Each structure stands twice: as C-alpha cells, then as structure tokens.
Amino acid sequence: MNIEELEESLKQPFTLKRGFGITKINHPEWQNIFFIVPPAPPKELDTKKLPYSSISKALKVLSALPHFSQMSELDKLVNYLFVRREVVQSSRLEGTWSTIDHALTPGDLADADEGKNEHQAVRSYAKILEEMIEETLKKKESVFNLKLIQEIHKQIVEHDPKSKGVPGKLRTEGEPGSVVIIGGGQRKENSLYNPAPPSEVLRTLNEVLTWLSDANLAIMGDAGGGGLSLPVRLAIAHSHFEAVHPFTDGNGRCGRALWPLQMICAGNSPLYLSGYVEEYKDSYTKALQEAQKRLNYNPLIEFLCEAIIEADLEAKKTRETIHQMPEVWNKRSGFREKSAPKRALTLLLHYPIISSAILEKELGVKRTAADNAINSLLEKKIIRYRQTENRQRLYAAEEIIQILSRPFGSEIELALEKARGLLKI
C-alpha cells in the first residue's frame, strides 16, 4: 500500500488521542508495513460538495418503495426469492461459487452431509438475512450492535469451506488470522489497502456501530435539510465497516448485508445491490478505495445511487414477470380449480425447487395425491426433474430459476427461452 495515496490526515501517525492514522505492528513479518486505523464515520459532510443530482434520483426511487410491512403477500414471496439471489451474488464476489438452485433448495431437501460446503453456506446466509430483516423491523437502528455483526458473520461463513478464521470472532491481537491486508497477492508491499490492526478492531468497529445505531442521525438525514440522506449513509457505513475489516474473512458479505437493513430502518422495503456490484466490480473497488484512502465519499455515493436506480429497474422487471408466471402456467396446463396441481402453481413461487414431500405438507394432501400432482406438473412442462447427487427426487420450476440466475440487467426473455428449452416446450 502506497501511503502517499492517503489523504493528509490519514498519513499522520496514529495515537489513541487522535483516534486514527497510520501505524505499524510489532512483528518482524510486518515491520515494514503500515496499517490504517480509520477515523470514526463523519456525522456531517460539506453538503455543497455532495453529488446532489445522483442522490435526488436515488431518493426518488427509494421513496416510491412501499414499507416492508405494507408489501402484498405476493411481493413478500418475491422478496423471499430476491434474498436468495442476493446471497448468491454477494457470495460470488468473494469467491464462494454456489447457484440460485442451492439457495432455493429447502434445507431438509438439501445435501445432508455433515461438514462445510458452499451450498450450505448460501442457505445459511439467506436464513440470517431474513432473520435480521425481521429483527430490524422491530428494533430499527438499535439493531446495529456487536452481537448482530458477529451473528451475521457466524451464519455467513461457518459452512463456507473456503473461509478463514473463526466464524463470528473478531480479529484479535496475537491470534492466527488477526492481521489482514487487501490485494497484493504474495507481496505485502503491493497491497491495495491495509485495514485496522487487530489491536484497534474492536474500538473502531464500535465507532461504526455507534454511528449506525444513531437514530437521530438517520432521522435528520431522512428529513432533508442538510443531513446525511440514506444513499450517503449507505456509502459512509460501508466504507468504514470495510476499512475496519473486523473479521479474518467474509467482511464483504457481512458489510453488504447491512445495506438492506439500513433501507428498512429508513422505512423502505429493501433493494438488493450485490448484483450491480458484481457487474461493475472494478468501479465499486475504485470508489471504495477513494472513500477509504482519501475520505472522499462522492464516488461511492454516486456508485450506490446508480446501484439503487438500476437495482430498482431490475427488480421491477423481475417482479412483474414472476407475478405473471402462475397465470402463464395456468394457461399452459388447464388444471381444474382447487385441484392439487392448480394449487401448486402459486406454491412454486415459494418453492421453485420442489418435491412430493413439500406438496404433501403444504397442500395438505396424501402422498399419492402429491405424487400425482408432480406427474401432472411434469406432463404440462411446468417443472423438470433434477438429477441430484444424493438421489433425492427434486423438481425445478425452470422458468423461475432462469429468471433469478440470469446476469444482472440481461433480458428476461432470453432467460425464459433457455428455461423453455430445458422444459422442451
């Protein structure tokens, strides 16, 4: 890391009195490497220098979103699907390669092997994100505390076979994995950024959490009149959380999980931004570096504003198509009203990966009726049999799967065409 790239105040030696600056670690392996102790997140910025055009466009999008509690049941179903797409996209950013299929496979149908695997990791990630959304609806900003961060991290990485460090445990001085650098490969001198040394992790993380839990700061920002609006808060919190880098691994996934929670605190239903970040990763990295090294938040604010706008457009197109699928299937199949196959059509939105056991339980029918419903859905090309490693008989609503797994911003019709090819329509 080149310290000449740092903003002047960050170049100054760290002292506890200053609270931030550059410092070294008393260890022969790291004796020539500087680390950055980040300052506390700012409670105000020079409003004249903020990118107001981008912010106003993003705020217009956010203000049009319903409160989470006011979402229709169908929209909540779609949000369930969006959460699973989010965790797959966010995980890919850190090299955890799973698919939307694995995130959508119910836990009791998933591979039951003990130990870690990437498929279990994304399911656990989705589960904790949903739980934290519910918790945030109740507690608002007070949800942001050390226990939350550690629990999110624990659930995200404990099943990830590639994860380093102890799930939920902060980097601690003198312990394995306590020192981290970002980028540079095997040469420490070539790193992009060196986060807080382990001795300062807890203190600087608590500064970020205190800032995030400041309800008055959020209220003033959402009221307008010169406060820090939501897009600005998303950028500041993210850059400072990642600058602290509290864990040995999994910090990006943990940090991105805070965005939908911040949106809910502001009264919005969440937008999920990892797909946009994945598509424009280089721009994201440059903007994040500018915020962390130069304390210039504008590039990251602009990036996240564009992410909000594009994620909203993507969500609208995806939601509209998914909403239409039961009617598309109904026309294709012609099932009798109140029959088990007809009732299964809406159920497929919640369970795009399905089995006879799920139909039996959710529809309240006998196993024979559930098996017959599966056969009817197969015959009408609504679902397709999926070969699995553990020989379970699982079936996929391929159109839903392909809609959700397509690259960010790509045409939905191409995804549907691929799905219908798999279904042999």
Q: Do 288 and 364 sit in the same domain of this protein?
A: no
Q: State mean pLDDT over 273-297.
A: 97
DSSP E strands in 16-92: the ranges are 21-23, 35-37
Residue 3 lies in a domain: no
Residue 32 lies in a domain: no
What is the structure's pLDDT at 114?
A: 47
Q: Do 275 and 414 sit in the same domain of this protein?
A: no
Q: State mean pLDDT over 87-110.
A: 75
Each residue of 122-136: pLDDT tens digit?
Answer: 888 889 999 999 999
Q: Which of 281, 313, 345 is the last residue of a domain?
A: 313
What is the structure's pLDDT at 99?
A: 75
Q: pLDDT > 90: what percent of the chain?
A: 74
Top-confidence residue, 115 or 412: 412
Residue 279 lies in a domain: yes
Q: Do 57 and 154 sit in the same domain of this protein?
A: yes
Q: State mean pLDDT over 310-324.
A: 96
Structural contact between residues 258 and 238, judged by C-beta atoms closer than 8 angstroms: yes
Q: Which of 264, 284, 313 is the last residue of a domain?
A: 313
d(CA 374, CA 8): 66
* Six token digits for residue 384: 């397709």
d(CA 390, CA 370): 21
* β partners of residue 354: 395
Residue 23 lies in a domain: no
Side chain identity at residue 323, one-letter code? H
- For residue 391, is pLDDT > 80? no
Q: Beta strands 353-354 and 35-37: pairing type?
A: unpaired
Structural contact between residues 251 and 241, judged by C-beta atoms closer than 8 angstroms: yes
- For residue 352, is pLDDT > 90? yes
Residue 22: what are its φ and ψ, rounded to 5°?
-100, 150
Mean pLDDT of the chain: 91
Residue 156 lies in a domain: yes
The residues near 312 (Cβ < 8 Å, ≥ 6 apart) are: 61, 65, 271
What is the structure's pLDDT at 124?
A: 87
Q: Is 391 exposed, middle or buried (0-12, 13-18, 19+ CB in 10 A)?
A: exposed
Each residue of 24-82: pLDDT tens digit?
Answer: 998 888 888 999 999 999 999 998 899 999 999 999 999 999 888 888 888 888 898 89
Q: What is the CATH number of the domain that holds 371?
A: 1.10.10.10
Q: State mean pLDDT over 274-278.
A: 95
d(CA 408, CA 279): 7
- For residue 144, is pLDDT > 60? yes
DSSP E strands in 281-367: the ranges are 353-354
Q: Which domain holds residue 86?
A: 42-313
* CA proximity to 52, closest of 360, 301, 418, 419: 301
Q: Do 303 and 204 sit in the same domain of this protein?
A: yes
Q: What is the CATH number of the domain that holds 72?
A: 1.10.3290.10
Task: Give Dmax (Cα) for the chain.
Answer: 75
Tell how many helices (H) and how many strands (E) occur in the chain: 19, 5
Q: Do 126 and 74 sit in the same domain of this protein?
A: yes
Please, which pLDDT band fits residue 390 given cuts at 50, 70 and 90?
Answer: low
Q: Do 142 and 288 sit in the same domain of this protein?
A: yes
Structural contact between residues 358 and 391, judged by C-beta atoms closer than 8 angstroms: no
What is the structure's pLDDT at 283?
A: 98
Residue 119 lies in a domain: yes
Q: State mean pLDDT over 87-100.
A: 79
- For residue 389, is pLDDT > 80? no
Q: Do 108 and 166 sit in the same domain of this protein?
A: yes
Q: Do 264 and 214 sit in the same domain of this protein?
A: yes
Number of folded domains in the chain? 2
What is the structure's pLDDT at 96?
A: 66
Q: Do 231 and 308 sit in the same domain of this protein?
A: yes
Q: Do 344 and 309 sit in the same domain of this protein?
A: no
DSSP code at position 95: T
Q: Which of 283, 313, 343 is the last residue of a domain?
A: 313
Q: State mean pLDDT over 376-380.
A: 97
Residue 326 lies in a domain: no
Residue 25 lies in a domain: no
d(CA 105, CA 94): 22
Each residue of 173-206: pLDDT tens digit?
Answer: 988 889 999 987 778 888 999 999 999 999 999 9
Cα dist from 259 to 138, 225, 246, 407, whole Å: 17, 23, 17, 21
Q: pLDDT > 70: what percent of the chain?
A: 95
What is the structure's pLDDT at 29?
A: 85
What is the structure's pLDDT at 160?
A: 82
d(CA 96, CA 254): 14
- For residue 254, is pLDDT > 80? yes
Q: Do 294 and 390 sit in the same domain of this protein?
A: no
What is the structure's pLDDT at 67?
A: 86
Q: Do 67 and 103 sit in the same domain of this protein?
A: yes
